[in-house]
């Protein structure tokens, strides 16, 4: 796994809300984990975007255990969140194109929380503009009050979901950044910025996501 420049990464996340680290994990390791995901798919559940998810994949192999246990990422998380880590987990994800339905990771535009939330998203396969890439609207975490929210389900009061129409009308979508990449690329991100996993238009997308709770 690639050595990380902590100071640079923290500056990037503070400024933009995310930082991309190229070639964090080697291609061979990515292929091994992707193959394991296929092998264990019967243990996965479906997410909001009809993607497949396994919430604790750190228990499935040493590669995922090492990713979750990366002390540098944990230190970056602690520094950015300005509070010690309480709990963490590594979620495996698989998004598969279906010509008969819209499939994405996480549904539409949203934030995970309305306060700082740190994640590490690792692409395990090549992610193109057709592969269900991660998209973020930088520096929006301090602007959430400018936009109306819609409930995720009846009775939902989390205020974490946003209508694409309003974001477009207010010209906020023009600043979105689409993060494509290669297998092994890592995204460290504050998911209190508005973001989404785009609809997959062909093939499959494999990923790991570390969730950090502070």
> pLDDT tens, 177-207?
999 999 999 999 999 999 999 999 999 999 9
Spatial strand order in the sheet of 195-197: 177-179, 134-136, 195-197
The pLDDT > 90 percentage for the chain reads: 90
Is 192 a domain residue?
yes
> pLDDT tens, 106-150?
889 999 999 999 999 999 999 999 999 999 999 999 999 999 999
Instruction: Report the distance separating Cα 25 and Cα 206, nearest Å.
Output: 13
Is 137 a domain residue?
yes
Is 212 a domain residue?
no
pLDDT at residue 56, rounded to an integer: 98
Number of domains, the chain: 1
Is 67 a domain residue?
yes
**Domain carrying residue 80:** 6-207
Q: For residue 75, give every residue at least 6 positions away whose Cβ sits within 8 Å of its Cβ, in sequence order, or none.
A: 6
Is 1 a domain residue?
no
Q: How far is CA 20 from CA 12, 92, 156, 189, 202, in A?
A: 9, 19, 32, 9, 24
pLDDT at residue 3, rounded to an integer: 76
Helical axes 71-81 vs 6-16, angle rounded to 10°: 40
What is the per-residue DSSP string for 94-109?
EEE--TTS---SS-SS
Is 213 a domain residue?
no
User: What is residue 115's three-state secondary structure?
Assistant: coil
Lowest mean pLDDT of 84-88, 169-173, 210-214, name the range.
Answer: 84-88
CATH classification at residue 127: 2.60.120.620
Is the whole-model pTM more than 0.85? yes
> pLDDT tens, 21-78?
999 999 999 999 999 999 999 999 999 899 999 999 999 999 999 999 999 999 999 9
Q: For residue 51, give every residue at least 6 positions away whose Cβ sits within 8 Å of its Cβ, in sequence order, or none.
A: 93, 94, 95, 96, 103, 104, 105, 106, 132, 197
**Share of the chain residues as helix, strand and coil, in percent rounded to the nearest 5:** 30, 25, 45
Is 65 a domain residue?
yes
């Amino acid at each position: 796994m690639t050595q990380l420049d902590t100071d640079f990464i923290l500056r990037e996340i503070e400024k933009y809300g995310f930082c991309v680290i190229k070639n964090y994990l080697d291609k061979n390791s990515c292929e091994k984990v992707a193959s394991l995901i296929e092998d264990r798919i019967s243990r996965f559940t479906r997410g909001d975007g009809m993607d497949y998810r396994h919430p604790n994949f750190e228990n499935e192999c040493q590669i995922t255990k090492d990713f979750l246990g990366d002390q540098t990422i944990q230190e970056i998380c602690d520094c950015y969140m300005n509070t010690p880590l309480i709990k963490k987990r590594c979620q495996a994800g698989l998004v598969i194109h279906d010509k008969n339905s819209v499939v994405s990771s996480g549904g539409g535009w949203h934030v995970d929380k309305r306060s700082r939330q740190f994640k590490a998203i690792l692409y395990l396969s090549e992610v193109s503009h057709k592969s269900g890439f991660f998209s973020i609207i930088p520096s929006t975490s301090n602007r959430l009050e400018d936009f109306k929210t819609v409930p995720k389900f009846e009775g939902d009061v989390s205020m974490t979901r946003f209508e694409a129409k309003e974001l477009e009308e207010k010209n906020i979508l023009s600043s979105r950044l689409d993060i494509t990449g290669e297998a092994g690329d890592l995204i460290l991100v504050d998911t209190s910025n508005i973001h989404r996993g785009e609809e997959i238009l062909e093939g499959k997308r494999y990923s790991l996501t570390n969730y950090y709770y502070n």
